[in-house]
Structure 1
Amino acid sequence: IALSTYPIVIMHGILNSKRNMRFAEASLHEMYPDAYILNMEIGNGIFDSFLMTLNDQLEEFSNKIKNDKRLENGFVALCHSQGSILCRGYLQKYNNPPMKRLVTTAGIHAGFYCGNASACPNIGSWTTPYMDRIDEFMYGKGQYMLSAAGFWRSPYKLEQYKETSLYLADLNNEVKINFTYIERIKSLELFVMVGAVKDDIIRPWDTSLFNYYKPGSEFEMELMKDREVYTKLGLDYLDQQKKLIQIINNEFDHHDFWQENGQSWLMDNVYIYLQE
């Protein structure tokens, strides 16, 4: 049990609802019994998390933060999967009231891509012959229809990604440099990224750590420090100030981050960073 400095906002992932984060919420109440905790939900939860664009979800997220008086002096955020780039979107685009700390689990920070060399989760490899059509949809109509299109980043079609992406390419300063984004990243007291080697949903698993496929490949990886985003987003500053922490779990799959069985490890190794 510890005293809390800030309220805590929880944001669930894609095809989830706030109900999926109930064990995380209970664990945080146990650790920080005096903390106000907002377990956020966008729209109707499961379906809107997939069928609303990320920009529309972000607008609702921001309005809920702004209209909650208990958050007016700032808050810390625990954000899972797709929720990680919603929370970071709030930080970079809105941040009033300010986000003080950002803790992300299995976040899609560097993008997502599957279906060619790596099978898509729960689908298999049948998509491989159709990847050009899938890319065409994701970089076309999909940008206005599905949240996943907002973070779809083919290592084979990076120019098309930069030209058409309505969310992640902007958020990661890949098209033009937004200095406000850099300053707001640098304003964090702490940015904690947690990834799981056995993650069975996000591709690649270590996009959660800002690593990603090398251009033109799904077999070679670029680490965060070797990627342009490291300096273009201000992550290098946080790293130099020892305010950027990467944590790797060797046992979890994607769902262990919000299921009951994962909470003990999360309380010991992750949730401790939400407060001073």
Structure 2
Amino acid sequence: MADNMKLLLISSFLCFVVYASNGPVPVVIWHGMGDSCCNPLSMGSIKKLIEKQVTGAYVRSLEIGSSIEEITMVCSKLAADPKLQDGYNAVGFSQGGQFLRAVAQRCPSPPMLNLISVGGQHQGVFGFPHCPGGNETLCEYVRKLLNIGAYISLVQAEYWHDPLNEQEYAEKSVFLADINQERSVNATYKSNLLKLKNLVLVKFLQDTMVIPKESEWFGYYNPGQDKKLYTMFESPLYIHDKLGLKTLNDTGRITFLSSDTDHLQFTEQWFIDNIVNKFLM
């Protein structure tokens, strides 16, 4: 009788292990600047949508601010979460996209499996939101004013990238220049990013918030001016494979997606068809 009970307990345990290992991969989402983890009109609805579509999925919406100092805190929180220890998928919205990339590069445990950047500014920005508009001269003037103190303000210094002075950007950027290997090459950043199964980059074709919008696909302005743009494939990051982007692409692990809308303006069905069904199931 005792032996039968032991067998029953062992069988039950094995069934649990099999079920747990075959269950849905947990999802971590990170909001953009000015948003919050649980806004029912944004991250709250995204969390519910994923939970509805991926039955039984554990979805953690990060209750964190928009400062780069929060990345270390996020790494600690993820490492302490027992539900994430076998790996998780990450979805970052706007600034949350490059913040989660920093997590992938700096904190490989627990392992991030798929990184989905929805409108993230991976080469930074050089412009005022919703500009250019009807008056390009005014927009250019505003941009020059912003540029004067860009690397003094912590918020600006996180993602501001002045193509007219690449040296100052590389020296003074407190975040982006580091994770993009602009000052020195950190081999660990590259090896950690190469652990991803997929890197998914979403660009909004009518984006008036992120300038230039090509930053969402790792494109940016050619150095020394702010008109002509290069693509990811023409960037030093890609050509010299500083981050592993070329290796990821050569192995079929980068996906470029687009939405013909303004910044973060997508339908639930678009998100289900392009993100949930393809990368979170």
User: Is 1:168 aligned to 2:171, yes or no?
Assistant: no
Equivalent of residue 267 in structure 1, options 246, 260, 272: 272
Q: 1:132 to 1:198 in 2, by over 3 A?
A: closer
Aligned to 2:253: 243
Aligned to 1:83: 96
Gaps of 5+ in 2: 1-21
TM-score of the aligned structures, taking structure 1 as reference length: 0.85
Provide, for residues 106-164 of structure 1, a one-character-per-residue CA deviation record: whole Å limited to 9, x for no partner: 01111111159x8279x99656446555324222x21xx32x32110011111100011
Q: Kindly report which structure 2 residues correspond to 1:144-159, keeping only aligned pairs within 5 A, or say none.
A: 145-146=154-155, 148-159=156-167
Counterpart CA distance in 2 for 1:194 and 1:11 is 15
**Does the 8 Å CA contact 2:87/2:113 hold for their aligned counterparts?**
yes
3-state SS of paired residue (1:101): strand
**Does the 8 Å CA contact 1:111/1:152 hold for their aligned counterparts?**
yes
Aligned to 1:7: 26
Shift of 1:41: 1.8
Aligned to 2:262: 253
Q: 1:241 to 1:111 in 2, by over 3 A?
A: same
User: Is 1:218 aligned to 2:229, yes or no?
Assistant: no
* Percent of aligned pairs sharing the same letter: 26
Equivalent of residue 189 in structure 1, options 197, 201, 207: 197
Q: Kindly report which structure 2 residues correspond to 1:49-198, keeping only aligned pairs within 5 A, or say none.
A: 49=66, 53-54=67-68, 56-115=69-128, 119=131, 126=138, 128-129=140-141, 131-132=143-144, 134-139=146-151, 141-142=152-153, 145-146=154-155, 148-198=156-206
Gaps of 5+ in 1: 43-47
**Does the 8 Å CA contact 2:164/2:223 hold for their aligned counterparts?**
yes
Counterpart CA distance in 2 for 1:176 and 1:246 is 27
Q: 1:67 to 1:124 in 2, by over 3 A?
A: farther
Q: 1:135 to 1:78 in 2, by over 3 A?
A: same
TM-score of the aligned structures, taking structure 2 as reference length: 0.84
Shift of 1:217: 2.3
Equivalent of residue 30 in structure 1, options 19, 29, 52: 52
Q: 1:249 to 1:129 in 2, by over 3 A?
A: closer
3-state SS of paired residue (1:9): strand
Equivalent of residue 62 in structure 2, options 34, 40, 59: 40
Counterpart CA distance in 2 for 1:212 and 1:5 is 36
Aligned to 2:13: none
Letter in 1 for 2:272: M
Counterpart CA distance in 1 for 2:139 and 2:199 is 35
Letter in 2 for 1:175: R
Letter in 2 for 1:268: D
Q: 1:125 to 1:266 in 2, by over 3 A?
A: farther
Letter in 1 for 2:233: K
**Does the 8 Å CA contact 2:204/2:264 hold for their aligned counterparts?**
no
Counterpart CA distance in 1 for 2:61 and 2:148 is 35
3-state SS of paired residue (1:13): coil
Counterpart CA distance in 2 for 1:130 and 1:170 is 27
Counterpart CA distance in 2 for 1:168 and 1:120 is 23
Shift of 1:7: 0.5
Counterpart CA distance in 2 for 1:189 and 1:156 is 35
How many residues align? The count is 254
Between structure 1 and structure 2, the one with the greater Rg is 2
